[in-house]
Amino acid sequence: MSKKQLKKKKFFDRLLIKNRLIILNEDTFEEIFSFKLNIMSVFVSLSLGAIFLISITTVLIAFTPLREFIPGYSSSQLKRDATVLALKSDSLTTALKKNEAYIKSIQKVLNGELEYAKFSKDSILSSVDEALEPVDLSPSKKEMELRERVKEEENTNLVSPKGKNQNTKK
């Protein structure tokens, strides 16, 4: 056998050598506990204990309210409250717009800019709902120039002078 194999065999033999762990009372030297152990069983039991503790800790944090103490996790109550507040703010915003339109129309009537016969609360509120600001979605000059430049770069990068695709791997 080679030296490496002998060293490995000695190492494994040392792992399996039986040792005795004795716990004594220091004053009377009375034996309290006595265990027969080997290094391998100690290593295995410590490893299993560590895995057990890690798994129990993970389960406790994942499935209990303890996770709220970890930065980055928010409580479910906080999420519900945020949703309710967002809905309330949206409804308050629409109510505010309707009230502003109503007050502006009343001001027009009081200033004499609008006839009283045309003044109706329902028509004012419906005009607020329908009045959406038009959005211009047409591309700007800079965007058109960028599109053209990207097209030109794609055409020059993809096709070589021989007409073969440069990006394909051989």
Span 78-95, pLDDT tens digits: 888 999 999 999 999 989
Closest CA to 41 of 30, 49, 33, 51: 49
Token code pair at residue 69: 């103490």
Query: What's the pLDDT tens digit per position in 111-132?
Result: 877 655 555 666 666 665 555 5
Per the model's pLDDT, the better-predicted residue between 157 and 165 turns out to be 157
Mode of pairing for the β-strands spanning 31-37 and 19-24: antiparallel
What is the reported pLDDT for 170?
A: 41
Mean pLDDT taken over the chain = 81
What pTM does this model have? 0.42
Look at residue 51 and tell me whether its pLDDT is greater than 50: yes
Token code pair at residue 6: 């002998």
Percentage above 70 pLDDT, the chain? 80
What is the reported pLDDT for 54?
A: 97
What is the reported pLDDT for 62?
A: 85
Look at residue 38 and tell me whether its pLDDT is greater than 60: yes
Look at residue 16 and tell me whether its pLDDT is greater than 50: yes
* Cα 28 to Cα 23, 24, 31, 90, 149, distances in angstroms: 12, 8, 9, 79, 93
Mean pLDDT in residue range 22-27: 91
Look at residue 148 and tell me whether its pLDDT is greater than 90: yes
Distance between the two ends of the chain, CA-based, in angstroms? 50
Look at residue 133 and tell me whether its pLDDT is greater than 80: no
What is the reported pLDDT for 48?
A: 98
How far, in whole angstroms, is CA 165 from its chain's centroid? 40
Q: What is d(CA 152, CA 144) in angstroms, rounded to the nearest whole number?
A: 12
At 37, give phi and psi (nearest 5°).
Answer: -135, 160
What is the reported pLDDT for 106?
A: 82
Of the listed ranges 7-16, 28-37, 80-89, 106-115, the least confidently predicted one is 106-115
